[in-house]
């Protein structure tokens, strides 16, 4: 069983570091930089979309969560209820829950809104008149607001997950 735990822990740590780090980079540095550069920033976002950045984040999140559930299954001796009532179990469960909700927000809110932004960006480039571009721009601002809101919530949930799991052994 210890070989399985080592493999699960390595997957959990590497995928989790990539997932959380990439989300923080996107929210704190890349997103604001893209917005500040206007239309040129959309070129960067198109390239990230072409390289399937969000798919990589979703995949890393899924690996992190699945390997985490595997580690909890082993640690809790098959999901025994008394483990979940311990201080350690409560802390780890809080981290599991917040990470899972963050992942669900990424899949069902951030990803679709990002796709909507890409569609609007393409429409902006195809708009024939200033009025049409202006209308698309207004819609894009509303969608951007939703994207920022969902992304910020997801990032905060991931930070809660990381922090609760980091201190779980000490509570």
Q: What is the pLDDT of residue 20?
A: 98
6 by DSSP, 3-state: which? helix
Residue 85's Cβ-count burial label (10 Å; 0-12, 13-18, 19+) is: exposed
User: Which single residue is written with the structure tokens 């799991």?
Assistant: 165
Spatial CB neighbours of 84, under 8 Å, sequence gap ≥ 6 = 76, 90, 93
Looking at the whole model, is its pTM more than 0.85? Answer: yes
HEC per residue, the chain: CHHHHHHHHHHHHHHHHHHHHHHHHHHHHHHHHHHHCCHHHHHHHHHHHHCCHHHHHHHHHHHHHHHHHHHHHHHCCCCCHHHHHCHHHHHHHHHHHHHHHHHHHHHHHHHHHHHHHHHHHHHHHHCCCHHHHHHHHHHHHHHHHHHHHHHHHHHHHHHHHHHHHHHHHHC
Mean pLDDT confidence for 82-95? 97
Q: What is the pLDDT of residue 153?
A: 98
How far is residue 8's CA from residue 69's CA, in Å, rounded to a whole number?
Answer: 9
Percent of the chain scoring above 70 in pLDDT:
99
pLDDT digits (tens, 9 = 90+) for 28-80: 999 999 989 987 888 898 899 999 999 999 999 999 999 999 999 999 999 99
First to last CA, the chain: 26
């Amino acid at each position: 069983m210890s070989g399985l735990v080592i493999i699960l822990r390595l997957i959990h740590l590497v995928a989790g570091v990539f997932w959380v780090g990439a989300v923080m980079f996107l929210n704190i540095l890349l997103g604001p930089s893209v917005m500040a550069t206007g239309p040129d920033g959309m070129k960067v976002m198109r390239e990230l979309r072409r390289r399937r950045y969000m798919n990589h984040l979703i995949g890393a999140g899924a690996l992190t969560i699945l390997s985490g559930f595997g580690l909890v299954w082993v640690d809790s001796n098959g999901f025994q209820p008394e483990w979940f009532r311990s201080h350690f179990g409560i802390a780890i469960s809080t981290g599991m829950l917040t990470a899972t909700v963050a992942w669900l927000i990424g899949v069902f809110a951030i990803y679709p809104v990002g796709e909507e932004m890409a569609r609007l960006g393409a429409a902006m480039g195809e708009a024939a008149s200033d009025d049409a571009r202006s209308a698309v721009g207004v819609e894009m601002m509303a969608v951007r607001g939703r994207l920022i809101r969902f992304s910020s919530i997801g990032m905060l949930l991931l930070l809660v997950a990381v922090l609760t799991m980091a201190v779980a052994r000490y509570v």
